[in-house]
Amino acid sequence: MRPTQVYSNTCNVLDAARQRVSFIFDNFEDIKVSVSGGKDSTVLAHLMLMEAKRRQRKIGVFFLDEEVVYQSTIDQVSWLIEDIAPDNVIPLWLQIEFDLTNSTSFGENHLTAWEPGKHDLWMRPKKSYAIKFAPWDREKQIIHDKNIGLNYYAVIDNFEHCYNNAAFTVGLRGTEHPNRWRAVSKNPVTIGESSIYWASPKGDNFAMYPIFDWNIHDVWKYIFEQKLRYSKIYDYMFKKGMPINEMRTSSLIHEKSFKSICELPEFEPKTYNRLVKRIKGIQFAQETGKSAKMFKARQLPKNFKSWMAYRDFLLETYPDPASKHVFETRFARHLNNEWVARQQCRQLVLNDIGNFVPVESKPDPREELIAYYRSVL
């Protein structure tokens, strides 16, 4: 097994993380740890709960339940909340109605998680101790984009606004999210008498990243050495040869992880069967999710001569008028070339109304290359 990253002869990333965790407990009375059921949040939750247990304090363990997730994810979060240090946990399992982008169907491009009146179709019953209704004033709630509604990130922001001077710890790692990390690290914040570069202000609270400098090997080394339970979905994905950066334990239907549906009948057949009943288009997505022509938009369908023609066809036949208008308005700001059109096609087939897989609007690099060779030949 690889050794843990070392800063100096006396400090490695684990020591540094424990020092940061101790700093958080020294400076904040109200502490939350956000968990997803993934490997990073499992490590962070364990670090935080061990310190809470040592100090005989309680901390909140926050999980926003998107409903359409692996059962392995639910089992893992249940373990984090109920089994590691239950006497030191304030469970903040949020199972409220909110909107999810559905990248698996043109006919149903949004899913309302925990939709009232559809209890018989829910993926599973709600937890007995879950927060089942929004704990904030609905009349004052934050909506980032009226076309998207109360989505995942809006729920997070509204929930955080319920608190004041709280530390929300997140298992973000710089090696996995370099752009997000650069945005954080270039603006250190002052807490108490210390200036730290692993946190960022969020309204009246702080988002804090104690394991920001860990790499993936550090994460798995800690899980192994501490004999921690982890989501078994990682084992399934590893056996199928899935790239590490594509292993996700979150929502099965959003634009970055829907490909997991391709293997879902094998990984978790019961979850797949419930998902088929819950959402239209799941079987189609499962059968075509790996196609270079479909969701990846890497190969142009043979009945189209250009990506621009394919984009225009997708726009013309897009079934939801409101979403269609959003795409048309967005695309009007882009350059009109084959390079851009291929990315626009991907947004359309993913129902990426939230622009989470953004289009890089720039001149077609292939045209520049052709022009160069024409000039030298």
Tens-place pLDDT, residues 85-142: 999 999 999 999 999 888 777 667 788 999 999 999 999 999 999 999 999 998 889 8
What pLDDT, on the 0 to 100 scale, is given for residue 243? 78
Residue 2 has a pLDDT of 55
pLDDT attached to residue 4: 54
* Integer CA distances (angstroms), 67 to 95, 100, 266, in order: 8, 10, 20
Beta bridge partners, 206, equal: 167, 201
Banded pLDDT at 308 (limits 50, 70, 90): very high
Token pair in block for residue 207: 């988002």
Q: What pLDDT is recorded for position 176? A: 78
The pLDDT value given to residue 116: 94
Q: What is the pLDDT of residue 250?
A: 80
Q: How many angstroms separate the CA atoms of 356 and 102, rounded?
A: 12
Answer whether residue 306 shows pLDDT above 70. Answer: yes
d(CA 200, CA 188): 7
Mean pLDDT of 276-286: 79
Angstrom distances, CA of residue 62 to CA of 91, 149, 160, 242: 7, 22, 11, 28
Average pLDDT over residues 44-61: 98
The pLDDT of 243-267, averaged and rounded, is 78
- The three-state DSSP-derived secondary structure of 309-339 is HHHHHHHHCCCCHHHHHHHHHHHCCCCCCHH
Which has the closest alpha carbon to 259: 277, 244, 246? Answer: 246
11 confidence band (pLDDT: 50, 70, 90)? confident
CB-based contacts of 2-11 (< 8 A; 24+ apart in sequence) = 2/217, 2/221, 4/218, 4/221, 5/213, 5/214, 5/215, 5/218
Fold of 13-219: Rossmann fold (3.40.50)
Q: Express the helix, strand and coil content of the chain in percent, nearest 5 each.
A: 45, 10, 45
Average pLDDT over residues 36-47: 96
What stretch(es) of the chain map to CATH 3.40.50.620? 13-219
pLDDT of residue 6: 57
Q: Are 95 and 130 in contact (CB under 8 A)?
A: yes
State whether the Cα torsion 260-263-268-269 is positive or negative.
Answer: positive
Instruction: Give the pLDDT band (50/70/90) at residue 288.
Output: low
Least confident of 53-67, 186-200, 253-267: 253-267
Calculate mean pLDDT across residues 349-362.
84
pLDDT at 3: 57
More confident residue, 376 or 196: 196
Give CA–CA dist 324/107, Å, rounded.
Answer: 13
Contact 257/250 with Cβ under 8 angstroms?
A: yes
Instruction: Give the integer Cα–Cα distance in Å for 35 and 44.
Output: 8
The pair of structure tokens assigned to 159 is: 């929930």
Residues with Cβ within 8 Å of 150's Cβ and at least 6 positions away in sequence, in order, are 97, 98, 99, 141, 143, 158
For the segment 267-290, the average pLDDT, to the nearest whole number, is 81
pLDDT > 70: percent of the chain: 89
Across the range 300-326, mean pLDDT stands at 88
Q: Confidence band (pLDDT; 50, 70, 90) for 67?
A: very high
Helix (H) or strand (E) holding 63: strand 59-64
- What pLDDT, on a 0 to 100 scale, did the predictor assign at position 253? 85
Give the residues across from 195 on adjacent strands. 190
